[in-house]
A and B are shown apart, each in its own frame.
Chain A
């Protein structure tokens, strides 16, 4: 077996294969996976149904290649979004780098083996989008009377592997400037983290702004187009235009975005361009881009990967600080623990990046997505509450991923055993962790509320509801996440990514938290359909969001009544 295959197999097995202490745990895991498949399956099936109509209309209107291009691009953006954190951790901050560099393996081999592990993980995300879409697309195309060649099947298989590979290679290339930023600001870690986050946000904006610009040009309003009265309170639901009419208006816009992404357009053209030389030429162009990106990734890996990994090893995976030692001041145990908690996140590059992303991304996404939904959706009074619903969902989705709570215990690693030796009540240890997690979440909620206000789409009552509801909701969810992690922590890890891989304890709070978000989002939109004044709609929304948060808070408080000391004692 070649060194590359041997290493890839071992790394993949270690990172991705779940291990179970007993049969009961295995059964529980399988049951949760089924629940997850059902939960994620519903939106996937709904998207597929939507895609069928879209693709059918696209065939009729002659935009099929552009639509495929956009679907492929979306899959890649999802991969980049989820892949960046996993990539940086697996590549640079994994504890196995020191071990791997002592083995007689070239650093480029280590790079590719690790990249494949990240790729296998990301394949799951992209396959959920690409494969069903291509199958449904084929059905829609054939039912529209258009024929498909064998190239469609071949390129679909290639697309499933190559599109995420390209996305991961882009992530790999993006990681170098990111790591260089951290190196440059090594002595000012917070500044480094802020600039790194701004860099990532800028990258997303570069991808996103052309899409935003293109989609804002779509005009799906009726002939009057005047919505000012509706926003100001005269709620009325206009007659909906038919799906075909809507597609005929949306498709020219989508085609602009699809055309803007050359590599996915080449892929789409190679699949749909018939059997001729033209399709072959596009396939070669697409494969050429993949080969070029692979060559670039290998070149950069040879030049920089080992160098940057060594630097992380030398710094022990932490960010340094230039600050001079302050004179010792006696703190209370509570304050000392809180300070330790803050430093454990802010002095660790990996945790700092993720904490920063989860704090900074929601307000940015809230601002842009709410703005976009308001400008591109059917503009009526309820589009205001579509924006409210989006803001609700985004804040809650990001909030339930707050690692200060979800992996509060696990991220201590084996250091948790040292923590257990401290002469401090376990309740106090948990209390400090919860307080820190809440502060992190509340900052996110505060910033997101400000971003939402800046969009200018909603009235003050909705803003108050959004703020109050989410502050309470985050307090509840942090408590639940921390409790789940305390109940079954994963402290024996080599790479922080291992904590969340195949970890039901971190998934369940995310599901529970997201369910509340979905409910409030639907409720916000549904309430807006009522023929009442917008302020009254906002008031009802307020009652719902705060009410749901209160229910969550008290239900979780009741559920987490277990003896903290006993749970802490059980950690082994």
Chain B
């Protein structure tokens, strides 16, 4: 049986002042070595879920555990196992790339030898060697994204979480990032990422979860999803499950309990 790296149990999130839930009764698991994609239309609740997992937003209902540590009870231990690449790539622009990497390594308690080895590897991979001592304020969107990726990987996290990671990357860097995600999983870690690029998800991932309006519509391995949907492409499947008009029909035919949004495959 695989080890659970991320376990989400009945997570619900309502923003202050909002009557509606942004995420409701969300449950799924990411196991060791899995590359897990999180799909959903705009405003479906993907970023909210990710922000709850990484501790950027509070949640009042449900449980999140990372490597066995409950995020609510033991946030520091849980976060030590996460590497996070946000969609808006926050960086202190008064720092150089190297200073940022060192800062992240210090915060996660990475030794000098390990950090230097990883720094060298990733700076080369993303062709940032020449820019490592330049201020981040002079970096392009894509370069900042790469620095964020390096900062998130500097402690070799068990769970690497990325929110829309391919946005703004050049083709070579996007390819390298995808390879890095695969490699990270092969080393016994897990990757959980959100994306709108369904072709990438289809080729890259072991498992996928689709949410809409804060509810989980479907989750499972790529094979299971293909099998349940007459071997159609993931894109067709995604569109069919998220299209409001056909939701009920699709959900009914696949056995989803529409009220609870309960996972139908696992």
Contacts and interface: CB of A to CB of B under 8 A. Distances in A.
A102 B83 CA distance: 9
A493 to B, nearest CB: 8
A14 B79 contact: no
The number of chain A residues touching the other chain, given as a range, is 20 to 34
B93 A494 contact: yes
B89 to A, nearest CB: 10
B21 interface: no
Contacts of B108: 103-104
A1 B106 contact: yes
Contact of A105 (B78, B94, B107): B107
Contacts of B135: 19
B98 to A, nearest CB: 13
A104 B56 contact: no
Contacts of B75: 104, 106
Contacts of A99: 56, 86, 90
B95 A3 contact: no
A310 B86 CA distance: 17
Given A98-B56, A310-B57, A492 B16 contact: no
Contact of B17 (A3, A187, A313): A187
A1 B107 CA distance: 9
Given A313-B56, A320-B17, A6 B106 contact: yes
Interface residues of B, number: 30
Contacts of A1: 106
B242 to A, nearest CB: 25
A17 B79 contact: no
A101 B137 contact: no
A104 B106 contact: no
A195 interface: no
Given A6-B107, A101-B55, A492 B79 contact: no
A10 interface: yes
Interface string B127-145: 0000000010100000000
Nearest to A311: B16
B72 interface: no
A3 B79 CA distance: 14
29 contacts: A3-B107, A6-B103, A6-B107, A7-B107, A10-B92, A10-B99, A13-B94, A13-B95, A19-B94, A19-B135, A96-B90, A98-B56, A98-B90, A99-B86, A103-B79, A103-B107, A104-B76, A104-B79, A105-B107, A106-B75, A106-B76, A186-B16, A187-B17, A311-B16, A313-B57, A314-B57, A315-B16, A315-B17, A494-B92
Interface of A: 1, 3, 6-7, 10, 13-14, 17, 19, 95-96, 98-99, 101-106, 186-187, 307, 310-311, 313-315, 320, 492, 494
